[in-house]
Amino acid sequence: MEVEVCLGQNESWCTTEQECLAVLEGVKHFRAYLTRRFRIYTDHKALKYLMDQKVAVGKLGRWALKLQDFDFDIVHKPGKNNEVADALSRRTYTEVADENKTSPVKVFVANANENEFLSDTIEVNACETDLEVDNKGDEDLESVELELFYGDYTLLAPLDPEVVNSELLDIPAVGQLQQVDPDFQDMFNYLQNDVLPQSEKVRQKVLAESQDYSVCDGVLYKWFQKRFKTSPDEKYIKQLCLPLALRRHALLAYHDLNYGGAHLGLDRVLAALRQKYFWPKMHQTVKDHVLSCDRCQRIKVDHTRKNPPLNPLPVVGPFDRWHMDFLKLSKTNKGETYLLVLVDSCSKWVEAFAMKTQEASEVAKVLFKEVFSRFGAARFLVSDRGKSFMNNLVLSLCEIFDVTRYHTSSYHPQTNGLVERCNSTLIKSFRAYCDKAQNNWPDKLPGILMALRNSPSTQSTEFSPFHLLFGREMNLPFDTSVTPKQNLSSDAKLQMEEVLSNLKITHKILPLKIC
């Protein structure tokens, strides 16, 4: 059997080391086929004496020891006769762009004749290549286009020049996109200008659905209400009708980007988007994007299986019961190796702290300074039987704050399944964003926690932790850039009553959903 292997050069190693590494990697790759004696052909004659070393030292010695499990002969083959491997070794490879690089996204209306901007610029961070701006200043062009630049591609939406000059000057950029969007332009024209489409089928559809839409300050919104038999008081959600040109950016912001995305699953991404946006066939669009995500396919494990019947723990209020566990990760340059994860059982709010050790003193310090002093003393604390959790120092702290301790049974992590499931999600998110060394995870942690707190808990409360605590949804950078600025009331009392009303309805529905 003959094996020919080529490997890219490493300038810091000598030629013999590079050639020997190529042999080692090739043998590892074809290990399943090398159960009998075989030959290795190389154009580097020094490798013939690899297995004849009297003293195994350095890289070559260690690699020679690894190759002793195989029965092979090394044969010298001159470079002029070793054409196949020699050609592959000289092959050039294109550079792979950094997927974590961010660039601004700008939405504007450009006048082709006067080369002027007709609306304010909207900037959004996006995980793509550098921004490319192309102002169309050709005097021969008479059309007006709404242009969206994103990375290496441009989306164009033609506008009627007469409409732009007369009506769109005072409308936000999102409203301009809606007026030319094929999914919303008929509804927009009917509600704004009382003009129905010519097609009878489309006209009937617009009239039937118009009660669910409204135009506010030149922007089209849809009013959505969740259907719950047990909660007739569920409030309507005001969803921004997102044009086709912005849907790609919304998917990237809520799934791909580090701050707010975290590569969460289909249900959580869809639920988070539905809190603020709407477009036709939204479920299928989000599903296609999540299932086609290359990183998700590489880092996630399929957990599809029959779930055993579970007996849920009693329902308690926010921050009354914390679930706690340690997660061991790669060691950072600062010596941080462990992640202390705490999850609130009611709101599913996640707190995580990077730590150098698992000593009980550090655990007690974090519980006092970062948890109890911020969220108040808990009624219950659930953890496994780790030494750091069973220590007298932690038990004394719990006695001072009158916290009841619960410990899982040995070798049965399902008892603390809430935090164990959160650990799995954190690991997948770290895989998606950390570099090859996996030692920069503390820098990625705040953005991942932001995504978890913004994402609705689709399997339990159906609300996001942020909404359960503050009575409204969290704003991501994409939201603040796309959503038109509202005219806030000067009366703080009215604003407070609105927040309290949302919290009252949410807490009324929450126990019904958990049960």
- Going from the N-terminus, what domains does the chain have, and what CATH number goes with each? 15-81 (no CATH), 168-299 (1.10.340.70), 321-460 (3.30.420.10)
Report, as an integer, the average pLDDT of 348-355.
94
The secondary structure of 61-99 as a DSSP string is HHHHHHGGGS-EEEEE--TTT-HHHHHHHT---PPPPPT
The token pair that represents 390 in the structure block: 């069973």
Residue 40: strand, helix, or coil: strand
pLDDT at 357: 92
pLDDT at 321: 93
Confidence band (pLDDT; 50, 70, 90) for 52?
Answer: confident
Statement: residue 115 has pLDDT above 50: no
160-209 residue pLDDT tens = 444 333 344 445 778 888 888 888 888 888 888 888 888 888 888 888 88
Confidence band (pLDDT; 50, 70, 90) for 233?
Answer: low
Confidence band (pLDDT; 50, 70, 90) for 363?
Answer: very high
pLDDT at 82: 80
Strand order in the sheet with 321-328: 350-355, 338-344, 321-328, 380-383, 404-407
Statement: residue 281 has pLDDT above 50: yes
Report, as an integer, the average pLDDT of 58-77.
86
Exposed, middle or buried by CB within 10 Å (0-12, 13-18, 19+), for 349? buried
The runs of H, that is alpha helices, within 305-391 are: 360-366, 373-375, 387-390
pLDDT at 492: 62
Average pLDDT value for the chain: 76
Percent of the chain with pLDDT over 90: 20
Residue 219: its H or E element: strand 219-224
Pick the most confident of 2-11, 48-57, 460-469.
460-469
Mean pLDDT is lowest, of 17-21, 349-353, 410-414, 422-426, for: 410-414
Exposed, middle or buried by CB within 10 Å (0-12, 13-18, 19+), for 363? buried
Q: How many CB atoms are located within 10 Å of the residue 276 CB?
A: 21
Statement: residue 81 has pLDDT above 50: yes
pLDDT at 513: 53
Confidence band (pLDDT; 50, 70, 90) for 149?
Answer: very low
Report, as an integer, the average pLDDT of 361-382.
92
Residue that wins the pLDDT comparison between 457 and 228: 457
Strand order in the sheet with 144-150: 122-126, 103-110, 144-150, 153-159
pLDDT at 344: 93
The runs of H, that is alpha helices, within 356-489 are: 360-366, 373-375, 387-390, 392-400, 417-433, 441-454, 465-470, 477-482
pTM for the model stands at: 0.53
Confidence band (pLDDT; 50, 70, 90) for 351?
Answer: very high
334-349 residue pLDDT tens = 899 999 999 998 889 9
Statement: residue 274 has pLDDT above 60: yes
pLDDT at 45: 84
Confidence band (pLDDT; 50, 70, 90) for 397?
Answer: very high
Percent of the chain with pLDDT over 70: 73
Statement: residue 272 has pLDDT above 70: yes
pLDDT at 171: 54
Confidence band (pLDDT; 50, 70, 90) for 119?
Answer: very low
Residue that wins the pLDDT comparison between 493 and 444: 444
Mean pLDDT is lowest, of 49-58, 239-248, 389-398, 500-509, for: 500-509
Provide the pairing of β-strand 321-328 with 338-344. Answer: antiparallel
pLDDT at 305: 62
Report, as an integer, the average pLDDT of 65-78.
87
Report, as an integer, the average pLDDT of 21-49.
86
pLDDT at 313: 73
pLDDT at 232: 53
Statement: residue 401 has pLDDT above 80: yes
pLDDT at 103: 42
